[in-house]
Amino acid sequence: MPNKLFSFFARGPAAPRIQDPQEVDRKYRRLRLSVIITLTLGYGFAYTCRLGLSVVKKPLIDYGIFTPEQLGWIGAAYLWGYGAGKVFNGFMADRVNVRRFIPTGLAVSAVLNLIMGLNLMVYVAIVLWGFNGWFQGFLAPSSVVSITQWFSGKKRGTMYGLWSSAHSLGEGLTYFGTSALVAISIWNAAFIGPGLTCLLVAVGVYLGLRDRPETLGLPPVNEWAGMPADPKPKSTGSAQLAVLKMPAIWIIGLSSSLMYVTRYAINNWGILYLQEVHKFTLIEAGTLVGINTVAGALGCIAYGYISDRYFQARRPPLTLIFGIIEVAALFIIFFGPEKNAYIMGLGFVLYGFTLSGLLAVLGGLFAVDVAPKAATGAAMGVIGVFSYLGAGIQELVSGYLVGAGTTMVDGVRHYDFSLPVIFWISASALSMLLAATLWKVQVKD
């Protein structure tokens, strides 16, 4: 059975090379467009199958289904499952046929969401959400491997930024769409709606993706783009081992883990914060958090393009600029005037734009820049472990701090977010400082 499974996911053999240069150009241009659009839309919709829990935390608490501490454990199970899945599947992604691997992970995640929507038991929820994280971990490393297979190094930042905008697309679909769906129905819709949708999306992803270019009779992308090939190509195994020995990878991972603390704090607790501290309705809170996702899509694309075009693919200078603005935006969000939708909207626009740029570079782009091309999946996996360990610890700490600051007055719950806010902002500031230590690290190609 394991052998059949591995053979199902294995990359196809190289096909006889197409000799007509014009046919090669036509196929490359058409298929590259299909690949990047499919990766971006597929990964965006996949997010709706991971963020539903953040939308319905208040009804789950208010109806007595789960406590804040239990929600912290459920959220941590997902994040740690995702981190573990991302590193294991990252090492796998360098060897698999992404056309089969990505839709499989998405389809299983969709089924787990459907089951989650019917469950009321906390331990079952922890297991389900942990497995959901594992199968969601199929997607990101494989997507980046596909990008490096179809796009040369000189386009990497731009294409990575475009694909990374899928984070914002998915968050927007969740905070606008899922919030509205729950508002007109019940909490279960946060899981059942995305589950049904992503089963269909998985089919579309399979139809839109392709295996590596060589399996279609095309030359490697660097050869087609007129760029020099690696004079000493490494085997997949030796390249993956080299990734583990690179100090820059470990520093990027630590910086990413701290950035993910704030990222998932806003994603998973932001709606509850806006409802309780600023007294916004679920729709209003979902809209405000959703605003940052729209700005985030632009931030990912802008970061990739600007760092390629104006900094010659040097990431640290632009990373520092984005980091400073992101921390300033958090001060606007958490210390701005109460229930002022305009100021809050400005804060979320700035936060979303800069956070998404940081997510692109620290969550993978910088690691892919410095890692051997044969091990880009492994590099993404290593960063994923750091990122989601940080995110999972955040979920436990935030759940504990929110629960400890909860009081009952005349039968109504009141929340104190003072300590969680200090925790979240400090993490972003430390991430920015740590990333700045990589100022002299250069891109490999």
* Residue boundaries of the structural domains of the chain: 22-217+235-436
Q: Which residues contact 387 (CB under 8 A, 6 or more apart)?
A: 83, 86, 253, 256, 257, 259, 260, 363
- The full DSSP string for 237-280 is HHHHHHHHT-HHHHHHHHHHHHHHHHHHHHHHHHHHHHHHHS--
Q: How confident is the model at residue 445 (pLDDT cuts 50, 70, 90)?
A: low
**pLDDT score at 82:** 83
Q: What is the DSSP letter of 11?
A: P
Residue 47, pLDDT > 80, answer yes
Q: How far is CA 230 from CA 126, 221, 234, 240, 375, in A?
A: 45, 12, 9, 16, 13
In percent, the amount of the chain with pLDDT more than 70 equals 93
Round to whole Å and give the CA distance between 312 and 308.
5
Least confident span in 68-82, 105-119, 386-400, 408-422:
408-422
pLDDT at 102 over 90: yes
Mean pLDDT confidence for 21-50: 91
Q: Which pLDDT does position 336 carry in this prediction? A: 81
In this predicted structure, what is the pLDDT of residue 377?
Answer: 74
Lowest mean pLDDT among 186-195, 226-235, 275-284, 423-432: 226-235
Question: Exposed, middle or buried by CB within 10 Å (0-12, 13-18, 19+), for 59?
Answer: middle
Q: What is the mean pLDDT of residues 327-354?
A: 89
Is it the case that residue 38 has pLDDT exceeding 80? yes
Q: Which of 11-25, 176-190, 328-342 has the lowest mean pLDDT?
A: 176-190
pLDDT value for 152: 75
Is the pLDDT reported for residue 45 higher than 90? yes
Identify whether the C-beta of residue 110 lies closer than 8 Å to the C-beta of residue 163. Answer: no
pLDDT of residue 412: 65
Average pLDDT (128-148) is 90
Model pLDDT, residue 391: 80
Asked if residue 264 lies in contact with residue 393, where contact means CB atoms within 8 angstroms, the answer is no
For the stretch 173-213, pLDDT in tens is 887 778 788 878 788 888 999 999 999 999 999 999 998 89
Average pLDDT score, the chain: 84
Residue type, 81: G
User: pLDDT-derived band of residue 13, with 50, 70 and 90 as boundaries?
Assistant: confident
pLDDT at 440 > cutoff 90: no
HSE-up (13 A, CA, CB side) for residue 6: 5
- Percent of all residues in the chain with a pLDDT value above 90, rounded to a whole number: 25
pTM score:
0.74
DSSP string, 139-186: HHHHHHHHHHHHS-GGGHHHHHHHHHHHHHHHHHIIIIIIHHHHHTS-
CATH number 3.20.20.100 is the correct assignment for the domain at 22-217+235-436: no
Q: What pLDDT does 229 receive?
A: 60
From the CB of residue 137, how many other CB atoms can be counted at a distance below 10 Å? 27
Instruction: Give the pLDDT of residue 198.
Output: 94
Inter-residue contact 20 to 193 (CB < 8 Å): no
Which SS3 state, helix, strand or coil, does residue 120 take? coil
Does residue 232 have a pLDDT over 70?
Answer: no
